[in-house]
């Protein structure tokens, strides 16, 4: 497995990562994980590979864009001294362009998304053993859908950044698209953005496959 024994994994992102975690809880405390893919990743690593003693920390925050991540990066990443980091960000950077127009919300352009992402990785990569970049995703097969088209644009940026820094890229959109070939998004989400438990299982499996978790030996 690509996560070393006794290591610390920080998983940062927006509401898909947050998923109802207790913000006042200590890192890796019982109610700190939320009810999404972070909890499932921790359940697998703790329940099936206890000898690895890997600490999992959830630092997702509802509504965050890459701009919000930058503002809290020192506190929620640097100060925690992770060995490994995963980042899932981008859906709100896109969504605010669709649901925030009448509120006149400031939005994150593709250029700002890419520049800010690169800045964060440049300062963090030398301090950690690896960083896993999740793609933003939208549970819609129609690539002509305006929001799906925009999410694909930001996902392409995330992929390009991962390749630039030589980091693992976790293509969640590809796995979601494969799922939607068989069943409607109604089975994994109420709004095409926030997964239910089944949807979070797709995310957790994508991460665990990327770190080469060996299911057969467990």
Return the active site residues. Answer: 15, 191, 194
Side-by-side strand order, sheet with 169-170: 55-60, 8-13, 84-88, 130-134, 169-170
Q: Are 138 and 192 in contact (CB under 8 A)?
A: yes
Q: How many CB atoms lie within 10 A of CB 53?
A: 11
DSSP 169: E
- Here the tokens at position 123 are 């300062």
Query: What own/partner pairs with CB < 8 Å and gap ≥ 24 does 124-127 have?
Result: 124/73, 124/77, 124/78, 124/85, 125/165, 125/167, 127/78, 127/81
- Token match 């200590």: residue? 26
**Three-state SS letters, 48-92:** HCHHHCCEEEEEECCCCCHHHHHHHHHHHCHHHCCCEEEEECCHH
133, β-bridge pairs? 87, 169
Half-sphere exposure of 111 (CA within 13 A, CB side): 0
């Amino acid at each position: 497995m690509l996560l070393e024994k006794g290591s610390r994994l920080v998983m940062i992102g927006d509401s898909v990562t947050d998923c109802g975690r207790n913000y006042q809880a200590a890192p890796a405390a019982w109610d700190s994980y939320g009810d999404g893919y972070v909890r499932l990743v921790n359940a697998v690593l703790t329940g099936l590979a206890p000898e690895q003693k890997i600490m999992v920390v959830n630092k997702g925050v509802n509504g965050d864009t890459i701009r919000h991540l930058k503002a809290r990066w020192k506190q929620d990443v640097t100060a925690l001294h992770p060995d490994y980091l995963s980042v899932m960000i981008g859906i709100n950077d896109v969504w605010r362009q669709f649901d925030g127009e009448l509120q006149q919300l400031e939005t994150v352009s593709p250029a700002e998304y890419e520049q800010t992402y690169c800045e964060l990785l440049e300062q963090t990569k030398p301090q950690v053993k690896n960083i896993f970049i999740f793609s933003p995703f939208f549970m819609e097969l129609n690539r002509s859908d305006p929001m799906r088209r925009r999410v694909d644009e930001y996902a392409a940026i995330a992929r390009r950044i991962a390749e630039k820094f030589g980091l693992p890229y976790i293509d969640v959109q590809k796995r979601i698209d494969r799922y939607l070939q068989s069943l409607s998004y109604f089975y994994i989400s109420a709004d095409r953005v926030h997964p239910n438990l089944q949807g979070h299982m797709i995310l957790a499996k994508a991460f665990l496959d990327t770190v080469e978790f060996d299911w057969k030996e467990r």
